Every structure is written in C-alpha cells, then in structure tokens.
Structure 1
C-alpha cells in the first residue's frame, strides 16, 4: 500500500497577512472603546472558549452572543486607563483558518501584567471572525 501524500503547510500571501492585521486593528480599536456589541459582531457563535481552572484542569465551553456580551461587559467595564500592547503571530492553517498567538502587556496606573492567548479566526462570508478564544485562568468561570 502506498503512503498518502503529505500535504504541505499553507503559505499565506501578503494579502492574507494584511487582512488579519487589519482585522486586529479594528478589534483593538473597538476593545479600546469597550464597544462590546461591535466586538460580538466580529465573532461566530456559538463561540468556543477554552481555558484552565485554578486546579490546573482544562475547561471548554460554548458561549452564546448574550453570554459573550455579558462576560465582556464585566471584564471590560471596569473603566480606568488601561493600555494594552500586543505582539501577534498568525499561524495560517489555510486561506480561511488562522490561529493567532498574542503576547500582550496590560498596563494601568500602579501596575502591569503580561499574558499569552490564542484566537482561532475563520473566514466567514469573506470576512475574518473569531470563533475560538484560548486563555489560561478563566476556567473557574466557565464551569457555571
């Protein structure tokens, strides 16, 4: 029996990269204004949310638009002057699927923190939309 041919990894075009960068510029601008409804417009629901809990166990959930808006309103609604600097590395699986790893530093008066997270973006009706969010530390909230 012959071995199946090995598919080469997708090589993104400059246009692919630019479209994801533009998507994140829009996302960041909306996040800076805490425009949660418009952020929700940039997603595909149900939205997969993957994390770990305080015991170190992996947890996954699917959020409706309503749950996303409610949760993000609590997370982003704190106000204050919070600045976020991000370095994103896209890993294209195809022309319509990209996993983006983000290294971010959030700074506010009196402190800062660093984080790493991943988003799966899918091309839907010709536009990028996020479909899966992966970040450590949310798991206890996902169990409810």
Structure 2
C-alpha cells in the first residue's frame, strides 16, 4: 500500500493547467451545444447527484444515451451560443482525481442564470474525463 504524504496531494502547475484546458474545451462545446462531443469527455456510467423539487437528495447513473438525450433537452436547440463566465476551484485528491467547484454565470438566448456545481474528474491514460456531476435542481430529471 502506498504511503501518502501528511498534507495530501499537492498539484503541479501542469495538473492545474490540464484541468483548466479540459474545462475550456468543455465550455466551448457547451457554448456550441455540441452534446455528443461533450459526452466524449465523460466517463460512463456517469454519476449524478442532485436534489429534487421536494427537497430530497437524489442520485443516478446515466449511460451515454441518457446523457445525450437529457443534455439536448436541457440545452435546447437555439441557434445562439451559450456563454459562460466561470470561476473554478479545483481540489486535487491525487494526480488522477480532482473535485472542481464552479461558480458560473451562464447566458443563453438573452437569459442569465447563476450556477454553482461540482464535478469529479478522473485522469485516465493522460486525459481528464468527468465521472460525477453534482448540482442542485436536477433531481426531478433523475
């Protein structure tokens, strides 16, 4: 069994840069509503954690088809790009695992919405993928 340092994993500058690059790509795909390409950046089955309209915590696992179907409905079919202004705080558990907290302002078709969510990313074969999405308000869709 490996011995872990007392302070936990300290990310390198490259670790941080790679997560920032991953989110830049994902945000660009989201802005263009390229849902199938967004799905390429996930690790399935994808875990989802949320709450529902009754105030209960909910969780589910989606396969690729469910992700594509739901995200296509949620993102709509508008012709205008979606824009994001996000502040992200990554917490690295190791070189291959990070929890990323995001506060974001999303604007789509003239409507602005504040978002707060977290993603758990894992790195496999040098590439990040999101494995868990955590955000309030999705529970009735799970």
TM-score computed with the length of structure 1 as normaliser: 0.89
State the match for 1:61 in structure 2.
Answer: 60
CA distance in 2, matches of 1:109, 1:44: 30
State the match for 1:9 in structure 2.
Answer: 8
State the match for 1:48 in structure 2.
Answer: 47
Deviating beyond 3 angstroms after TM superposition, the runs of 4 or more aligned structure 1 residues are 108-111
State the match for 1:123 in structure 2.
Answer: 123
Q: CA deviation at 1:89?
A: 0.7
Instruction: Structure 2 unaligned segments of length 5 or more: list them.
Output: none
Tell me, what secondary structure is at the counterpart of 1:73?
Answer: helix
Q: CA deviation at 1:109?
A: 5.1
**CA spacing shift, 1:109–1:32, aligned 2, 3 Å:** closer
CA distance in 1, matches of 2:86, 2:27: 10
State the match for 1:114 in structure 2.
Answer: 114
CA distance in 2, matches of 1:109, 1:46: 31
CA distance in 2, matches of 1:64, 1:118: 19
Equivalent residues, number:
138
Q: CA deviation at 1:110?
A: 4.8
2:120 pairs with 1:93: no
CA distance in 1, matches of 2:41, 2:68: 12
Q: Cα deviation per residue 1:82-115 (whole Å; 9 max; x = unaligned)? A: 3221111100010000000010112245542211
Q: How large is the RMSD of aligned CA atoms in angstroms?
A: 1.6
TM-score computed with the length of structure 2 as normaliser: 0.90
**Which has the greater radius of gyration?**
1
Instruction: Structure 1 unaligned segments of length 5 or more: list them.
Output: none
Q: CA deviation at 1:77?
A: 2.4
